[in-house]
Amino acid sequence: MGIIKAAINAVKGGLADTWLEVIEPSPMGEHTVFAPGQLITQNGKSQNKKGSSNIVSNGSIIHVYPDQMMILIDGGKVVDYTADDGYFKVDNSSMPSLFNGQFGDAIKESFSRIKYGGVSSQSQRVFYINLKEIKNLKFGTTSPIQYYDSFYEAELFMALHGSYSIKVTDPFKFLQEVVPNENITGNKSLEFEGEFIRQYNEEFVTELGTAFNQYSADGNRISFITSKSKEMAKYMRDALDDDWREMRGFEVFSVSMAIPRYADKSQEIIDKRAEMGASVSFLRDGANQQAYMAKNIAEGINAAGHNEGGAMNAFLGMGMAQNMGGNIMGGYMQNPQYVNQNQQYQQQAPQQQAPQQQAAPAGGWTCTCGAVNTGKFCCECGSPKPEAPKKRFCGNCGAQLTEGQKFCPECGTKQ
């Protein structure tokens, strides 16, 4: 007993009148993994009526669509199969034809374990296994998953949800281990969804932690997870290899994850690290460093005038802070990455020669035009020698004042 391939053009030709019936698969939805055949009886070449029976006889025609595995079952045993698409004729006088399709000879080993043992056919039935990717299988974690991120140098906790897809890799293992017997005896389709896949979803989420540990060990950042669906699918295939592919005949094909929901403390760590990273990136530029220091010095001078302990104390504190800031900026300036960037910038920037000023001799003075003079007037532009600034002293304690000071830095007396 078995099936033989029928000529494609015979479907529309005169031979169609001699067929007892044609079996086609029942409608398959997005999550249908197993479906019985349905009978289309012949009533002339142009009129076919769909029936409910799935029992074939010698001479029946079975139609197999692409990405389907057709299995011929008799008395609960598999008697023949095909993974090729096309039209096939039931011929009980022939040996099982075993059309392996995309699976090659590897599928024969599985078939040999469950093949029919031997009496003549009485009630052969046709079933189809969907070989397409079964998509959009939802999952979600009920408790946060722990993940060590070497970038943040911290254990982070997050809740995940998303979807995954599967694909049947060994139809016979899938038939034996996944498809319930009631779907075969009751001639019913099987949907991979709802309560039926609850166990598989629990296994998926459990192994998700294992996959994340490997993902972390490989040095991947947690924030890249949503863009690494192919890599995560590989990790999940490795984690579920024994239970799903080797024992049940299907595997994880793809994984899609939504943006993780971090625990409060984990989110705080991520936010602080992002803020620090932005500051470091900003201060790597020399111009930004100078602007940052100038801003802080200006704020310090402004605050010194309002210091209750006296402006001098404020200026002393500001000086210490400035020295510390200079040391910090010096560290950035010595950073190899900054030095390299600064050298590249200097090579690319147009070279501008700044005018060099000569040092004034003892008793001499330098004019605003750059000329060095010893007399009362500039020898180049004739400008008069600037007068030395007048010294100011506090009327209370006698301390010397600088231009613009309204209060004595020593005793605080208003000037």
Helix (H, G, I), strand (E, B) or coil at 338: helix
Structural domains of the chain, with CATH: 3-130 (no CATH), 134-266 (3.30.479.30), 290-342 (no CATH), 367-415 (no CATH)
How far apart (Å, rounded) are the C-alpha atoms in residues 191 and 130?
11
Is 225:260 a contact under the CB 8 Å cutoff?
A: yes
Helix (H, G, I), strand (E, B) or coil at 144: coil
Contact residues for 229 (Cβ-Cβ < 8 A; gap 6+): 254, 255, 256, 257
Helices and strands (DSSP H and E) totals, the chain: 10, 21
In eight-state DSSP terms, residue 190 is: E
Is the overall model pTM greater than 0.75, yes or no?
A: no
How would you write the pLDDT of the chain (415 residues) with one tens digit per residue?
467 776 544 444 444 445 557 889 999 999 999 999 998 755 533 333 444 467 777 778 899 999 999 999 887 788 889 999 999 888 766 555 556 666 665 555 555 544 443 333 457 889 999 999 999 999 888 888 777 877 777 788 888 888 999 999 999 999 999 999 999 989 999 999 999 999 999 999 888 878 887 888 888 877 777 777 778 778 888 888 778 988 999 999 988 888 778 777 777 876 776 676 555 554 455 555 555 566 566 666 566 555 555 555 554 555 555 555 555 545 545 555 555 655 555 555 555 444 455 566 666 778 888 888 888 888 888 888 887 767 777 877 878 877 778 888 888 888 7
